[in-house]
Copies of this chain bind each other. A is one copy, B any other.
Amino acid sequence: MVSDDREDPGTERGHRHVRADAQRNMDALLEAALAVFTSSGVDAPVREIAEKAGVGIGTLYRHFPQRADLIAAVCRREIDACANAAVSLAAAHKPSEALARWMQRYAGFITTKRGLAPALHSGNPAFEGLRDYFEQRLQPALRNLLDAAAVAGEVRGDIDPDDLLRAVGSLGMRSGDDGPEHTQRMVALLVDGLRYGAGPGLPKTP
């Protein structure tokens, strides 16, 4: 049934010709799924997504044989976007500002994907590799921002990126209690904490 090299379902191109309509529908599905997940949570009906994307149910299931596959794909896509944002932000702002903005962006990613974290921890094998992807992709991105800001003397240099990621992650999950702007405030506080230990006249470059 399925041909040989369909290992990479992402926007990878190069080996085999992908039919144009297939690629188009896949993109439409991912975009629709993102919108629906964001507004209705990851438990939203698949039919709603297919309809929003303007494709049939069969098409959706052709590209994402299981509901979890669609969730994972959307998630990967968002992780990539988040990691890429680090580069853009670093280019457009001074280090500490880029760091602050990225932290808020990451927090937004977490809070808007509510229901996703429980799904990740559900033991579903479709999500197996996703947690690693999380760290492998996001941790370097944040580390770069942190290092740059530390070198510029704008934040302290003794912070572990993973700690920050986890902290924001935890804050984001709890936001069901207090609303999304609570998370925003707490993240802002975290960033201020990073800035605290680093005076402008205190270069700590070894």
Residues of A within 8 A of B (CB): 115, 118, 121-123, 131, 170, 173, 176-177
Contact = CB atoms under 8 A, between A and B. Distances in A.
A44 to B, nearest CB: 13
Contact of A118 (B118, B123, B131, B177): B118
Contacts of A123: 176
Contact of A177 (B115, B121, B170, B173): B121
A122 B131 CA distance: 22
A38 B183 CA distance: 32
Given A115-B118, A121-B173, A123-B176, 7 more contacts: A115-B122, A118-B118, A121-B176, A121-B177, A122-B176, A131-B177, A170-B170
Contacts of A131: 177
A170 B171 CA distance: 11
Contacts of A122: 115, 176
Nearest to A118: B118
A41 to B, nearest CB: 8
A146 B170 CA distance: 27
Contacts of A118: 115, 118
Contacts of A121: 173, 176-177
A86 to B, nearest CB: 25
10 contacts: A115-B118, A115-B122, A118-B118, A121-B173, A121-B176, A121-B177, A122-B176, A123-B176, A131-B177, A170-B170
A27 to B, nearest CB: 30
Most chain-B CB neighbours within 10 Å: which of A118, A122, A173, A177?
A118
